[in-house]
Structure 1
Amino acid sequence: MQTAEIKRRFLKFFEERNHTVVPSASLVSDDPTVMFTIAGMVPFIPYMTGVVPAPYPRATSVQKCIRTNDIEEVGRTPRHGTFFQMCGNFSFGDYFKREAIEFAWTFLTSAQDEGGLGFNPKDLWVTVYRHDDEAYRFWREIANIPEERIQRLGEDTNYWSAGKPGGPAGPDSEIFFDRGPEYGIDGGPATDDDRYVEIWNLVFMQYERGVDNGDGTFEILGELPKKNIDTGMGLERIAFLLQGVENMYETDQVRPVLDLAASLSGKKYGDKDDDDVRMRVIADHVRSALMLISDGVQPGNEGRGYILRRLLRRVVRNMRLLGVETATFPQLFPASMRAMKDAYPEVERDFDRIARTAYAEEEAFLRTLAQGTTIFEEAVSGAKGSGLAQLSGDIAFKLHDTYGFPIDLTMEMAEEAGLRVNRDKFNELMTEQRERAKADAKSRRSALADLSIYSDFRAKGETQFIGYEDLRAESEVLGIIVEGSSVPVARSGQVAEIILAETTLYAESGGQDADQGWLIAPSGGFEARVDDVQKPVAGLIAHTVTVTEGEIAVGERVESVVDEVYRRQASEAHTATHLIHAALRDALGPDAHQSGSYNKAGYMRLDFSWNQPLSKETRIELEEISNAAVRADYEVITKEMSLDDAKALGARALFGEKYGSVVRMVEIGGPWSRELCGGTHVSGTSEVGLVNLIGESSVGSQNRRVEALVGRNAFADFATERAIVRELSSGLKVPREQVTERVEDLLASLKRAEKKIADLEAAALLGRVPELLAGAEQVGSINFVGGSLGTVGSADDIRHVVLDIRERLGSEASVVAIGGESNGKPIIVIATNEASRDLGVKAGALVKLAAGVLGGGGGGKPDVAQGGGQDAAKLPEAVTAVRRELQSV
């Protein structure tokens, strides 16, 4: 059975059971704390936690997912893939354990000619949480699984939690397929052997969890008011089992790339274990990269971009280990696209863009590999010349960090040269790098400029930033990059990166946005607007410019000119960031430490560790403390000193930043605020002018964010608010101190009036019930009432009328189908009574039929369902379609 057919059957099975089919969300997660969609339930988390009311009681989806935490296992086990598709069915306070178990078992074991997957029940095992007697009983009753094939396991495998106090938690039950004795030892899933493949996980969210107990467990506060179901069936795992292949890499959506890698390398899949692993890695990573680029991810050095770049480079590395050193993406990516386009047509539609991104990244990496190989060979020669048997970890890290060499490639090359690699030192440096990484850092560098270009310029020395003292200065043009290539000249109309020996323009770093300004030829004839200033590699500053006049060549002199107004306002904002940080520590204590920041002219934001919203009083206090420091006109002093000396003075370092042995400390009011910072600042706090706190929000479970306007922007905002208050005071004819009270009174009056109107409208609609009942007709075996209410306020208005009519029709088999129009859109609500449902009539099926006529969709329970569409003029036709459907009952 093809993968696409399994997906189709899954969605059809649950749609027939009143689940709303929800399309896959993007691989790029909306959650700012998560880079990717890592599980099928991620898009539904707001509904499961109750933060957002669920728009439907039941849902089903096949969700695209990316996980790279087990990347080293890819190709080595039958089931680990970085990209996978998770089939899920979800209940939001509707059905629970019994139904979830029955659905899963029915779909898995029903015959294929009946729409199921046709698994033999004798091949399936089940695990339940050790204390979940209810799930155990349901499995025995529903599936009649022998007791010996139901295993009770502990919290580490069969208990799920949202991960924080107040969130949902509950036991889960997993279904495993036994591949047979030729694949491993007997004993069931408890053995954790690859013989038993987990194919479905049913999570029963029934409790509210409390705080951690300190031993990996947590307190249970009680049952949730609404119990939820979250299940996940691995599509790739089901596919490889049903297709009779050995692993997910040999399924129809992945195997074509594996076979092509074998063909390009001249090797045969199945001949050699190491080569087989490499081919499987290539097939997996090409598909993952295809899907990531399709969803808008671009290769980069941070965050999602780094994950994508790593996948692409691992493909290149494994092709090289198979003996192929030329570009292969132009063959591999089209093969993956052809395998995936039936399930995801967008990969074919957007393939030109996907291909350009992938091919350019491969070309850039092949160049850096060539340059890195030269560095490697020099290091090997030096080590052997010194009689060493080991390549230093520093060299291995440089090859990884600057030239993109994966450590295992360096280790294999070193082994071929008869050397070992100091892996411990390499791991130490990698850990330091990960700690320096910023989750919200931007990647604005030229998409196609590989690091070797920057490395060539960096070899000429560091770019000196002299903008603390000077706002304009001459320097030599060391290099020019246009569209990813080093060029000798930048001409009018071009966007270019220009690298100077010295610059007065501040490069974005430490949370401070880049300076604005110009590059100008001292003798005239050339001018460029500076759009961005970045540090593409350590010690190098690159100016992204738009050339507005003339041309400039490498080796010529150019003057960097800072926009003084922008710099002054940016400096005010950066100093205000330090004031807010100090104020947070004053108000909340030392645990409220900075985790990130961003500031530009007139604006600042600061992220800090804290696990709950700030009260109104605390926000006022922060603003008061900060502005008290402004009024105090503390002197702002910058000092360079050793890192140890700065720490001894209590200077605060930002987690994730890299500091050298000599650091720059910014001191405000002596010990009141001491921070390590390379940004620009005012000389006294009174120059900040004013700090106006405008926002406070969450940026993760343990982090908050405050935002403020600074200086002139803060004054302008207050002036706007003052003008608004003045107008309200005049219009309401009350003193300004009474404006709030007067507005509250008016809102209360408006609310009462709206309620009165709603009550009158509802009464008027219910008054039409006798008229609608008078039109009742016998359709087949059903007493049918159909019609339209015309324009209504909402679907609830129609629902009230429908339920009232159903109640008045009594116990005779009846169906009510009433439509209406709200905000220009048609709505139809259908209700059945018990007698009609006994005849097989379901409201959900009928409403889908009616909504289809209206050009939309709908769903609901068998007793009541609701749908909508686009064309309100077709409401009579929709009701007629329902009437026609009932004639056969």
Structure 2
Amino acid sequence: METAEIRRRFLDHFEANGHTVVPSAPLISPDPSLLFTVAGMVPFIPYLTGQQPAPWPRATSVQKCIRTQDIEEVGKTTRHGTFFQMNGNFSFGDYFKEGAIAHAWELVTGSQDDGGYGFDPGAIWVTVYQEDDEAADLWRKIAGLPDERIQRRGRKDNYWHTGQAGPGGPCSEIYVDRGPQYGPDGGPVVDEDRFLEIWNLVFMEYELTDVKSKEDFTIVGELPSKNIDTGMGMERVSYLLQDVDNMYEIDQVYPVIAHASELSDKRYGADHGDDVRMRVVADHVRSSLMLIGDGVTPSNEGRGYVLRRLLRRSVRAMRLLGVQDRVLPELLPVSRGCMQAAYPELESDFDRISSVAYAEEDAFRKTLQTGTQIFDLAVGETRATQRSVLPGETAFKLHDTYGFPIDLTLEMASEQGLTVDEGEFRRLMEEQRERAKADARAKKAGSSATAAYRELRETGPTPFTGYTELETESRVRGLIRDGESVPGAGEGEIVEVVLDRTPFYAESGGQDSDAGRIRGDGFELEVLDVQRPMKGLIVHRVRVRDGEVASGRTVHAAVDQEWRIGACQAHSGTHVVHAALREVLGPQALQSGSYNKPGYLRLDFSWGQALGAATRSEVEEVANLAIRRDYPVSAAYMPLEKAREIGALALFGETYDEEVRVVEMNGEWSRELCGGTHVQHSSQVGLVTLTGESSVGAGSRRVEAFVGIEGFRHLATERALVTQLADLLKVQPEQLPDRVERLVTQVRDAERELAKTRAAALGSRAGELAGSARDVAGIGFVGFAAPVGSAADDLRTLALDVRGRFGADRPAVVAVAGTSDAGRPSVVVAVNEAGRDRGLKAGDLVKVAAQTLGGGGGGKDDVAQGGGSDPEAVDAALAKVEQAVGETATRGS
């Protein structure tokens, strides 16, 4: 069962049981104490603790997670991974232990035909907290588990908390017995390799304090409500259901290993050291793909540093495998192919993701080339002096000059049997930071603005008159071209003009600059842009449309009235949408950025998940109701402290003067620090039509909207489109959804009939194929490339049918069928009993084919299935299997 299918079944199961499906929050944690989302419950902490009312009584999600504390262990064991997915279901004061256990048992042991995972009930063991008699009784009642498969454990194993004061409670863990080949009998308390945990059900009901360790804490009381928080490890369930040995061999990971093996010409499974490097590559490439997808970019701090480290460890591991060429352009697309079924946004955003990753590899390749030489020299000098500690000065030079992260230097030194003087390295780094701060202060006070701007500013600030008027009599204070003051400019030239007062709004606070004209005696200027290159100075970028302009000339500055009306509508509309988001989603939906111009606005805000259609509709309705209610819009200047006291919202990261301008709509409904231009009443905004909602990085969303007449035009365009479709399909507009649904159903039915026809045609060839078998070292071998578009299930049926048509005269049979469907190749291998007696195993043979296809596969000894990413390699894969059959049969004889 593919991982994407495991994901789908989990969400479908809980949605059918009344849970709201909540999209995964971004990998960037909204919790400032965490770099990343490290567990499935992190986005739900405010609801589980009662800090905020939950939007739903019960929810389910598949949460993307990153844990970085075990980076050095990745690949060395088959348990440690950086990126993983946590399936969870949550109850916020709704059902409790009985519901959690019943839901879990139904999914885990339910038949695969009915949407379950199909685990053998006889292979399921559970653990409960040693004092939790209720949970033990429920496992007996609901699942019928005998006492010997319900094991009790203490706080260390079966009591959950966050590691700090907050919510907690006993938990019950579900284990699967993998069989005696994986370890001794006796349940999880004896061996957790054989008995593998797949799901933890946390019964969160207590408030904890004085948390010193996993076992040392104090229970101070009950939570306001009893909550359920569960976590099922997606990767663990995947490798159990895919019948592979570990998480690195599942369908979302192994194809990267297979491709790394092909690039390096190193066989996976032949050498432990090489296997470790390939697993590092597979894990880190996937983790990097997901991090960049959520907006993380490589840097030397925080999340960016973790990403940089993952990418560089991937590249270096491939170099240690002998691959000197660029590797991420080879490996990253393979990982995308593995993950996009579950995360389709990776496909649409891959250009951005890949450009970030490839640029980092290119930079690191240059770093490695020069830095490694320095490192090798330093190692030689250290050993020549009989020392075992690499100087901190060398580590600092590698970091400062060649971009070597200290972790890479530590790793490389460890591989050479050396350590690094980290104390000296840290001291030199701190000295560098202090120098950088001093330089920044000097630059800020010195040459941050050009001399021309500075000279003009020294004559005084530029008063902005545009709050009360659109036309102003003024004087040209100066002209600048290419950073230099000039006395004048003629027709066709583009220059910067500074006036002694202006009604033109300079771009700031998300609002685009005004448009308009500046006229004087014998000349006219078109205003192209207006900026504040330094505090207090407003600069107009203009094109001289007619005549000649010179410094000192008197002018009439006039803002385009229609432009300003549209700008005011858009900026006030931005405030309206911000207030509507906070009303619908809560105060945490705080603006983090915006841009608006006549007819259009976009607003970025803090939020960890996509807004559903119903939520977007509600936000739009709240915004337009505020417009219809004709709220008064006012602006007032006041001290910053007073603005904070009355709750005026400020844009995070912005700096403000002690005297600020506060814009209000209906008092506290919308109260923000803002220097922009606005309408006088909310009704003047006209109309807000939301047109899009998207992610702009982890923990941040973006809404876009048309405003005023542009909003009307957008709706008119949509109405025309609906009318066109209705005319085309000859139905009334309100009948369109039903009509389109019927058409889609008809197409699907036709596709199913076509598939049946293909299957029948394929099945009719079984006898012909059996008759064309070739003798390969005494084995009857049939290799068949089915027509493109053949379903994988049909391949399986065909291979089994061919295998079954051989008589007693050739008892040992291997049947292989391969095809490509929608660009995804697949292969099925079937081996009869006599063939298995000769040492031939379908699971081994299908892996041979899958590696050639650029993928993975597995199954039982009699029949196995695999796939890959290279549809052109089907014939080569069949040939590889034939070769492997001959080699195995020859060895066996």
Q: TM-score, normalized by length of structure 1?
A: 0.51
Q: CA deviation at 1:530?
A: 3.1
Structure 2 CA distance, aligned partners of 1:403 and 1:593?
Answer: 33
Match 2:620 to one of 605, 623, 633: 623
Match 1:683 to one of 666, 673, 680: 680
Tell me the residue number matched to 2:878.
879
Q: CA deviation at 1:831?
A: 5.2
More contact order relative to length (CA 8 Å, sep ≥ 6): 2
Q: 1:500 to 1:848 in 2, by over 3 A?
A: farther
Q: 1:862 to 1:489 in 2, by over 3 A?
A: farther
Structure 2 CA distance, aligned partners of 1:651 and 1:636?
Answer: 14
Tell me the residue number matched to 2:738.
741
Q: CA deviation at 1:644?
A: 3.9
Match 1:765 to one of 762, 783, 791: 762
Deviations for 1:630-682, whole angstroms, at most 9, x for unmatched residues? 23333322222223444455433344333322111212234443322112212
Match 1:284 to one of 399, 419, 436: 399
Q: CA deviation at 1:720?
A: 1.6
Return 5+ residue gaps in structure 1 as ranges: 1-28, 55-62, 71-78, 97-130, 132-151, 172-202, 244-249, 263-268, 292-314, 323-364, 374-397, 405-448
The 8 Å contact of residues 508 and 514 in structure 1, kept in 2 or not, is answered as: yes
Tell me the residue number matched to 1:349.
none
Q: CA deviation at 1:466?
A: 3.9
Tell me the residue number matched to 2:293.
none
Q: Which secondary structure does the structure 2 equivalent of 1:887 belong to?
A: helix
Residue type of the alignment partner of 2:681: G
1:399 matched to 2:441: yes
The 8 Å contact of residues 170 and 206 in structure 1, kept in 2 or not, is answered as: yes
The 8 Å contact of residues 638 and 659 in structure 2, kept in 1 or not, is answered as: yes
Q: 1:729 to 1:260 in 2, by over 3 A?
A: same
Q: Which secondary structure does the structure 2 equivalent of 1:739 belong to?
A: helix
Structure 1 CA distance, aligned partners of 2:833 and 2:448?
Answer: 69
Q: CA deviation at 1:761?
A: 2.9
Tell me the residue number matched to 1:334.
none
Q: Which secondary structure does the structure 1 equivalent of 2:856 belong to?
A: strand
Structure 2 CA distance, aligned partners of 1:832 and 1:479?
Answer: 82
Tell me the residue number matched to 1:633.
630
Residue type of the alignment partner of 2:882: R
The 8 Å contact of residues 458 and 539 in structure 1, kept in 2 or not, is answered as: no
Q: 1:459 to 1:563 in 2, by over 3 A?
A: closer
Residue type of the alignment partner of 1:515: S
Tell me the residue number matched to 1:470.
470
Q: 1:206 to 1:403 in 2, by over 3 A?
A: farther
Of 209-218 and 659-668, more deviation after overlay is shown by 209-218
Structure 2 CA distance, aligned partners of 1:208 and 1:541?
Answer: 61
Q: 1:161-310 to 2 correspondence within 5 Å?
A: 207=200, 221=230, 223-224=232-233, 227=236, 229=247, 254=371, 256=373, 277-288=392-403
The 8 Å contact of residues 470 and 558 in structure 2, kept in 1 or not, is answered as: no
The 8 Å contact of residues 827 and 867 in structure 2, kept in 1 or not, is answered as: yes
Q: Which secondary structure does the structure 1 equivalent of 2:657 belong to?
A: coil
1:597 matched to 2:594: yes
Match 1:721 to one of 718, 721, 726: 718
Match 2:566 to one of 562, 565, 569: 569
Structure 2 CA distance, aligned partners of 1:318 and 1:259?
Answer: 21
Deviations for 1:864-889, whole angstroms, at most 9, x for unmatched residues? 354567675x7556534542443233
Q: 1:140-159 to 2 correspondence within 5 Å?
A: none
Deviations for 1:39-79, whole angstroms, at most 9, x for unmatched residues? 9999xx9xxx995999xxxxxxxx9x9x9xx9xxxxxxxx9
Tell me the residue number matched to 2:363.
none
Tell me the residue number matched to 1:580.
577
Q: Which secondary structure does the structure 2 equivalent of 1:820 belong to?
A: strand
Deviations for 1:75-117, whole angstroms, at most 9, x for unmatched residues? xxxx99xxx9976887899xx9xxxxxxxxxxxxxxxxxxxxx
Tell me the residue number matched to 1:888.
887
Structure 1 CA distance, aligned partners of 2:696 and 2:881?
Answer: 48
Q: Which secondary structure does the structure 2 equivalent of 1:770 belong to?
A: helix
Q: CA deviation at 1:829?
A: 4.6
The 8 Å contact of residues 480 and 490 in structure 1, kept in 2 or not, is answered as: no
Q: 1:664-683 to 2 correspondence within 5 Å?
A: 664-683=661-680
Deviations for 1:297-340, whole angstroms, at most 9, x for unmatched residues? xxxxxxxxxxxxxxxxxx9x979979xxxxxxxxxxxxxxxxxx
Structure 1 CA distance, aligned partners of 2:521 and 2:229?
Answer: 75
The 8 Å contact of residues 690 and 705 in structure 2, kept in 1 or not, is answered as: yes
The 8 Å contact of residues 585 and 592 in structure 1, kept in 2 or not, is answered as: yes
Structure 2 CA distance, aligned partners of 1:273 and 1:852?
Answer: 43
Structure 2 CA distance, aligned partners of 1:736 and 1:773?
Answer: 57
Aligned Cα root-mean-square deviation (Å)? 6.6
Residue type of the alignment partner of 2:878: V
Residue type of the alignment partner of 1:651: A
State how many pairs are aligned: 593
Tell me the residue number matched to 1:820.
819
The 8 Å contact of residues 824 and 867 in structure 2, kept in 1 or not, is answered as: no
The 8 Å contact of residues 517 and 560 in structure 1, kept in 2 or not, is answered as: no
Deviations for 1:174-197, whole angstroms, at most 9, x for unmatched residues? xxxxxxxxxxxxxxxxxxxxxxxx
Tell me the residue number matched to 1:305.
none
Structure 2 CA distance, aligned partners of 1:490 and 1:206?
Answer: 76
Q: 1:810 to 1:726 in 2, by over 3 A?
A: farther
Q: 1:702 to 1:255 in 2, by over 3 A?
A: closer
Q: 1:227 to 1:881 in 2, by over 3 A?
A: closer
Structure 2 CA distance, aligned partners of 1:458 and 1:209?
Answer: 66
Structure 2 CA distance, aligned partners of 1:589 and 1:319?
Answer: 42
Q: 1:575 to 1:789 in 2, by over 3 A?
A: same
Q: CA deviation at 1:706?
A: 3.6
Residue type of the alignment partner of 1:509: S
Of 760-769 and 552-561, more deviation after overlay is shown by 552-561
Match 1:514 to one of 512, 515, 529: 512
Q: 1:831 to 1:628 in 2, by over 3 A?
A: same
